[in-house]
Amino acid sequence: MPEENKILVILDLDETLIHATRNPLYENWDFELFNYKIFIRPHLHVFLSFLKDNFDVAVWSSASDDYVTKVVEEIFPDDYGLKFVWGRTKCTYKPDYSKAEEIGYFDYYSHFEYIKILKKVTKKFPYTKEQILIIDDTPRKAMYNFGNAIYPSEFNGDKNDNELELLVNYLETFKDISNVRTIEKRNWRDVLK
């Protein structure tokens, strides 16, 4: 496939590739950053090299920009060639009415969330909506582009987690296709059975 037709995979960080916490459930975190203990999700190395060989790759997290830059420096090889690294300032700040429904009122101070809108990517980079996959543990972050999203389980620091290995197998399906949106992704683990 010619270089310019590669699928772009946009990766979330927290609970997708790493787990950062002040109160770890497990021992042996991998590194510390801004007073957080950070666990790297098992099989990250295999996952990242598989992606590099088959896709274009970028990072987009709703965490603060400086945190995102530092985490990326820690977990990606220097020559990895990420197409972009975006943090919170590229997200869109939206009211989250579902939280208000839970408690019965809307609180202007806490019921907002940062979401990722793909149009920002297609405006700036030469990919169409059909050529972009988002991998994010939080479905609401990709609520306007669910046809592009794959939702892994939340990583909480468990060393036995094998989600990234499963994702490598699943992503084989997407290597040579022209429209990622035609593939149903909601029950992606079932395809592996």
Q: Which residue ranges make up the site for Mg ion (CB under 5 A)? A: 12, 14-16, 137-138
Least distance (Å) from Mg ion to the CB of residue 154?
7
Residue 96 or 137: the one with the smaller Cβ distance to Mg ion is 137
Q: Read off φ and ψ for residue 81, nearest 5 degrees.
A: 80, 40
Q: In angstroms, what is the minimal distance from the CB of 177 to Mg ion? A: 25
Q: Cβ of residue 179: shortest distance to Mg ion, in angstroms?
A: 25
Helix (H) or strand (E) holding 190: helix 188-191
For the CA atoms of the chain, what is the radius of gyration? Answer: 17
Contact 188, 150 (CB under 8 A): yes
User: CB under 8 Å, gap of 24 or more: what pairs does 77-80 form?
Assistant: 77/48, 80/48, 80/52
Place of tokens 């945190």: 67
14 or 56: CB nearest Mg ion = 14
Q: Which is nearer to Mg ion, 56 or 136 (CB)?
A: 136
In the complex with Mg ion, the residue whose CB is nearer, 5 or 153, is 153
Q: Position 123: which residue type? A: K
CB of 191 to Mg ion, least distance (A): 22
Q: How far is CA 80 from CA 16, 102, 177, 192, in A?
A: 18, 42, 23, 28
* Identity of the residue, 15 or 113, whose beta carbon is nearer to Mg ion in the bound complex: 15
Q: How far is the CB of 138 from Mg ion (least distance, A)?
A: 5
